[in-house]
Amino acid sequence: MSAKNERGRRLTIPVVVEFEDVDAYGIAHHTKLVAYLERARARFLLSLGVDLARTDLHLVLYDLAVRFKRTAALLDALEVTVSVSSVDAVRLDLSYAIRKEGLLVARATTALAFVDGATKAVVPIPEDVRRALE
Amino acid sequence: MSAKNERGRRLTIPVVVEFEDVDAYGIAHHTKLVAYLERARARFLLSLGVDLARTDLHLVLYDLAVRFKRTAALLDALEVTVSVSSVDAVRLDLSYAIRKEGLLVARATTALAFVDGATKAVVPIPEDVRRALE
Amino acid sequence: MSAKNERGRRLTIPVVVEFEDVDAYGIAHHTKLVAYLERARARFLLSLGVDLARTDLHLVLYDLAVRFKRTAALLDALEVTVSVSSVDAVRLDLSYAIRKEGLLVARATTALAFVDGATKAVVPIPEDVRRALE
Amino acid sequence: MSAKNERGRRLTIPVVVEFEDVDAYGIAHHTKLVAYLERARARFLLSLGVDLARTDLHLVLYDLAVRFKRTAALLDALEVTVSVSSVDAVRLDLSYAIRKEGLLVARATTALAFVDGATKAVVPIPEDVRRALE
């Protein structure tokens, strides 16, 4: 894969831990932290012109890795940062950090592909998106 | 880490994809597949005598990796298998496979530690649990 | 509304409270109990020939009432029963009971309508569904 | 129940519909709208000195009614308003409206009680909270 490194493309969003996100241990459940990543990703891609609501072109996750460093509690104010790690013709790798008062709550990476909504086949990343990412 | 390999310890549970799990693309959302892993894990650990409902001893996830292979749709009948990859004094590594009609939907690994519910400090894996795992 | 009373149409499904469903109070979060109602509803409607996965005909909830009687805890085995209260040309009223070892956890009612997936306009309940419900 | 009417106590919060909230019909799933109510409630109660993170005093929902008027879609910016309907020694009734660009998405009411975290028995609403509500 001849991925190109990306410099400077990033976005940070605020997320507050809601009661619905807290588990029996009194901390944000890990699946919710994974969902927070997607919230940053959705806004980041939207800023690049990718509309997640389109039903003819799906953005599909096929690889996810998360390292949890600290717990987050009810009403904690988090910051979720997403940045481009690499992009090639068909694959977009993003990196994430979730922070609470500057301290790392989690680090994560995802690999994404664009899929035709009807055929479910992987398609090349749209040219304009790829250009915006590089 | 002087982990020991584990042979034979595994558990498979059935999971059905519910409407609440399906996203705008008509497939099980990735956070729900991650939750399905936990359902298998909870029952597996319960079978080893670990009660997740205890508030004094928390089982905390600190590493998660998932590779998504196929999508799952509404009311798909899945099988989630969990098995022990390794266990040492403080760390339990589990592996997972989610299958639909025998075909892989996802593979995953997690790293878990036991944490004191009050101090939030990592504690050794209880001796009886470790023995059951080895 | 000239609704007809329904006698005998009902379905009961088992639901287990998962760790992902439990909140900071150690009980099944109320939104999850609401989702359990939908699980019973989905299967009930499927048994009547209504496919919730269709994108051209949506089944939309427009009224929901729940009375919570008892809490449910991690791995509690629940039974969710759905039955028809009334049905007319455009409205389907269902009633629900969630029970744990025979004791009521919650009672609920919903009002549903069928909506054209494209125009979002309410459409008459399909004749075969209505006949199956009456 | 000698409830007192409440005038003027209300709070409005913004909520954005996330991808994780959208169902197979492309709209915010009804259970998520119910969760949005709780987000407003949590902040409203916090503003009155009620800490939902306390494990010794739980705020328990025992009645919920929602009327859904309009659907909400991905990234819709909603406003959720909560206000006091009535309060007496042991019961707090709240009313809610969810709006999108001024138009009603849903109206709801809840009945809440305070419960001793250990005994699970209903306890009187703490005097300072009740005074703040009246």
Between A22-26, C16-20, C93-97, D54-58, the lowest mean confidence (pLDDT) is in D54-58
Q: Which helix (H) or strand (E) holds D36?
A: helix D30-47
Length in residues, chain A:
134
Residue A100 above 90 pLDDT?
A: yes
* Cβ pairs bridging B and D (under 8 Å): 22
Mean of pLDDT values over B69-83:
96
Contact status, residue B78 vs residue B101, Cβ threshold 8 Å: no
Q: In Å, how far from its chain's centre is CA C103? A: 19
Q: CA A27 to CA A40: how far, in whole Å?
A: 20
Q: Quick one: pLDDT at residue C29?
A: 97
Q: Residues A45-96: pLDDT tens digits? A: 988 888 877 778 889 999 999 999 999 999 999 999 999 999 999 999 999 9
* Cβ separation D23–B26 shorter than 8 A: no
* Cβ separation D55–A19 shorter than 8 A: no
CA distances from B123 to A28, B58, B60, B84 (A): 21, 10, 11, 19
Q: Which of A115, A118, A120 is nearest to A52 (CA)?
A: A115
**E strands present in A4-131:** 4-5, 10-16, 57-68, 77-87, 92-100, 103-116, 122-123
Burial track C23-50 (b if 16+ CB lie within 10 A, e otherwise): bbbbbbbbbbbbbbbbbbbbbbbeebeb
Q: Residues D97-125: pLDDT tens digits? A: 999 999 999 999 999 999 998 888 999 99
* Cβ separation D24–B22 shorter than 8 A: yes
Q: Residues C97-113: pLDDT tens digits? A: 999 999 999 999 999 99
User: What residues in D contact B29, CB-CB < 8 Å?
Assistant: 20
Q: Quick one: pLDDT at residue B7?
A: 45
Contact status, residue B126 vs residue B118, Cβ threshold 8 Å: no
Q: CA C62 to CA C68: how far, in whole Å?
A: 20
Residue B4 above 50 pLDDT?
A: no
Q: What angle do CA A57, C42, B36 make, to 5 degrees?
A: 65
Q: Which of B64, B95, B99 is nearest to B79 (CA)?
A: B99
Q: CA B39 to CA B22: how far, in whole Å?
A: 17
Q: Quick one: pLDDT at residue B55?
A: 72
Residue A18 above 90 pLDDT?
A: yes
Q: Quick one: pLDDT at residue D127?
A: 87
**Which of B18, B39, B82 to substitute to test the interface with C, most C CBs within 10 Å?**
B18
Hey, CA dihedral for D19, C52, D34, A21, is it positive or negative? Answer: negative
* Cβ separation D25–C69 shorter than 8 A: no
Phi/psi of residue B100, nearest 5 degrees:
-130, 115
What residues does B74 pair with on adjacent strands? Answer: none
| Least Cα separation, residue C76 to chain A (angstroms) | 14
Tokens of B3: 């982990």
Contact status, residue C80 vs residue C127, Cβ threshold 8 Å: no
Query: Which residue stretches of chain C have pLDDT < 50?
Result: 1-8
Give this complex's ipTM.
0.91
Q: CA B79 to CA C32: how far, in whole Å?
A: 22
Q: Percent of chain D, pLDDT > 90?
A: 71
Residue B117 above 90 pLDDT?
A: no
Contact status, residue D94 vs residue D83, Cβ threshold 8 Å: yes
Residue D4 above 70 pLDDT?
A: no
- Mean of pLDDT over chain B: 90
Chain A: touching chains (3 or more CB pairs < 8 Å): B, C, D
Q: Among all chains, which residue has been given the structure tokens 């086949």?
A: A121
Q: CA C7 to CA B125: how far, in whole Å?
A: 55
The answer to whether A25 contacts chain D (CB < 8 Å) is: no
Query: Number of helices and strands (H, E) in chain B?
Result: 2, 7
Q: Quick one: pLDDT at residue B69?
A: 96
Q: CA D91 to CA A42: how far, in whole Å?
A: 40
**Which of D16, D17, D56, D75 to substitute to test the interface with A, most A CBs within 10 Å?**
D75
Mean of pLDDT values over D93-99:
97
The answer to whether C23 contacts chain A (CB < 8 Å) is: yes
- Mean of pLDDT over chain A: 90
Which of B24, B58, B68 minimises the CB distance to A61?
B68
Q: Quick one: pLDDT at residue C32?
A: 98
Q: CA B55 to CA D56: how far, in whole Å?
A: 13
Q: Quick one: pLDDT at residue C2?
A: 34
Q: CA B14 to CA B98: how far, in whole Å?
A: 10
The pairing of strands A103-116 and A57-68 is antiparallel
Q: Residues A116-131: pLDDT tens digits? A: 988 889 999 988 888 8
The answer to whether A53 contacts chain D (CB < 8 Å) is: yes
Q: Quick one: pLDDT at residue C5?
A: 36
Q: Quick one: pLDDT at residue C9?
A: 86
pLDDT confidence band for A3 (50 / 70 / 90): very low
SS3 A42: helix
The answer to whether D20 contacts chain A (CB < 8 Å) is: yes
User: What residues in C contact A26, CB-CB < 8 Å?
Assistant: 24
Q: Which of C69, C66, C73 is nearest to C17 (CA)?
A: C73
Q: Among all chains, which residue has been given the structure tokens 């996203």?
A: B23
The answer to whether C32 contacts chain A (CB < 8 Å) is: no
Q: Cβ contacts of residue C127 below 8 Å, gap of 6+?
A: none
Which of A42, A55, A75 minimises the CB distance to D19?
A42
Q: Percent of chain B, pLDDT > 90?
A: 71
Q: Percent of chain B, pLDDT > 70?
A: 94
Q: CA A71 to CA B117: how far, in whole Å?
A: 12
Q: Residues B6-28: pLDDT tens digits? A: 444 899 999 999 999 999 999 99
SS3 A40: helix
What residues does D22 pair with on adjacent strands? Answer: D28
Q: Quick one: pLDDT at residue C12?
A: 96
The answer to whether B19 contacts chain D (CB < 8 Å) is: yes
